[in-house]
C-alpha cells in the first residue's frame, strides 16, 4: 500500500494568514492526489483533485501543487470557515489510501 504522510499534524494560523499543508507519498503517485476538507460531524468535501484542479464550487483561495511524492495544499487567506481537518488521498494504486490529516486551528 502507498503510505500518505501529512504534516504538520496541527497548524495554528490567524484568520487572514496563509496556511501551507504538506502531504508526502511513500512512492510516486504522479498527479493522482486529492485533498479534502472535513468539519466536525460532516463528511469530507472534495477540494482539489489531480493535485492542482479545484473541484466545483471551491474558492480560489485554495490551491494545490506538487507531483510524484510531494504535495502542498495552500489556503491563501484563511477565513473562519476554513478551520477544519484536511486530508490528502492518493488514487494512483489500489487500495486507495488517505493521509492521517492536518488540523488547521485558530491561533
Partner 1 sequence: QVQLQESGPGLVKPSQTLSLTCTVSGGSISGDGYYWTWIRQHPGKGLEWIGYIYYTGGTYYNPSLKSQVTISVDTSKNQFYLKLTSVTAADTAVYYCARNSDYGETHFDSWGQGTLVTVSS
Considering only residues 2-31, where is the footprint of partner 1 by CB under 8 A?
Answer: none
Half-sphere exposure of 3 (CA within 13 A, CB side): 2
Query: From residue 77 to residue 106, what is the string marking binding to partner 1 with x (rule CB under 8 A)?
Result: ----------x-x-x--xxxxxxxx-----
Does 42 interact with partner 1 (rule: CB under 8 A)?
yes
Please select the residue that binds partner 1; options are 56, 63, 74, 81, rule is CB under 8 A: 56
* Cβ neighbours, 10 Å, residue 106: 11
Q: Residue 61 to residues 48, 49, 81, 82: CA-CA distances in angstroms?
A: 12, 15, 12, 10
Of 84, 39, 79, 32, give the one whose Cα is nearest residue 53. Answer: 32
Rounded to the nearest whole angstrom, what is the least distance from the CB of residue 37 to partner 1 in the complex? 12
Binding footprint of partner 1 on the chain (CB under 8 A): 1, 34, 42-46, 49, 55-56, 87, 89, 91, 94-101
Amino acid at each position: 500500500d502507498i503510505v500518505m504522510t501529512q504534516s504538520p499534524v496541527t497548524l495554528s494560523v490567524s484568520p487572514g494568514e496563509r496556511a501551507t499543508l504538506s502531504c508526502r507519498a511513500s512512492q510516486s503517485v504522479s498527479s493522482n492526489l486529492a485533498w479534502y476538507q472535513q468539519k466536525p460531524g460532516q463528511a469530507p468535501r472534495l477540494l482539489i483533485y489531480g493535485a492542482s484542479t479545484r473541484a466545483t464550487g471551491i474558492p480560489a483561495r485554495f490551491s494545490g501543487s506538487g507531483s510524484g511524492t510531494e504535495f502542498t495544499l495552500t489556503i491563501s487567506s484563511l477565513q473562519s470557515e476554513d478551520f477544519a481537518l484536511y486530508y490528502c488521498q492518493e488514487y494512483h494504486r489500489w487500495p486507495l489510501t488517505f493521509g492521517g490529516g492536518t488540523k488547521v486551528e485558530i491561533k
